[in-house]
Structure 1
Amino acid sequence: MEITDVRVKLVSSESRLRGVATITFDESFVVHDIRIIEGENGIFVAMPSKKTPNGNFRDIAHPIHGEMRKKIEDAIVVAYEEEKAKPPVEEEPTEPEA
């Protein structure tokens, strides 16, 4: 499987969440809601998950092999750093209606 697209949306919040990524494989399979989190040892990637009835979280989708996990994490971190390096987009002021 080849990673064919990675998109990152930065999140500005007081929490450790820094962004949310979407990754596409072979231009035919997409995984949304991959979280980019600031941890004690730097940025890490958390796969999409859901809360179980007992309060634990369980991954919805995740790589089986360490090699693929690293490939995904590296691609997302690179895209995150690129997005972070872009200048902020300023919204144009709107004219009040008469």
Structure 2
Amino acid sequence: MPEISVRINSMYPPGSQGSIRAYASVDIDKCFAVRGIKVVEGGENGLFVSMPSRKTQDGYKDICFPVTAEFREQLHRSVLDAYQQAITQAQAPPAPQQAAPEQAAPGQQMAGM
């Protein structure tokens, strides 16, 4: 199977962009890139991946699509896993910052001075 690298470009809270929860970009084997992939919430199954498309006179047409069902499943799973990881990171409390000893607050003297 090809190596798939996913970046979540932007995320939206429920209700702010309709059913769209995020946009993603995918690099396949470091030689093919797909931009404009959407993570969408809807239907009975919850989240799903929507590949990029463009509007024509006949309606919407897919710009690209996975060739095999196995690869499509791998691509969709990779995008949804990256989205869940981005959600987890966004909800994690920020790590406390500690000042380095040489960066004492103004007016304070360092020990031994």
Q: What is the TM-score normalised by the length of structure 2?
A: 0.71
Structure 1 position 64, deviation (Å): 1.7
**Displaced runs of 4+ in structure 1, greater than 4 A?**
none
**How far apart, in 2, do the equivalents of 1:14 and 1:22 lie?**
18
Structure 1 position 24, deviation (Å): 0.3
More relative contact order, 1 or 2 (CA 8 Å, 6+ apart): 1
Structure-to-structure mapping, 1:71-86, within 5 angstroms: 71-86=74-89
> How many equivalent residue pairs?
89
Alignment gaps of 5+ in structure 1: 91-98
- Verify the 8 A CA contact 1:11 1:19 in the aligned structure 2: yes
Q: What is the TM-score normalised by the length of structure 1?
A: 0.81
Structure-to-structure mapping, 1:53-64, within 5 angstroms: 53-54=57-58, 56-64=59-67
Identity %: 31
Deviations 1:64-95 (A, max 9, x none): 211110000000000000001113699xxxxx
- Verify the 8 A CA contact 1:7 1:79 in the aligned structure 2: yes
Larger Cα Rg: Structure 1 or Structure 2? 2
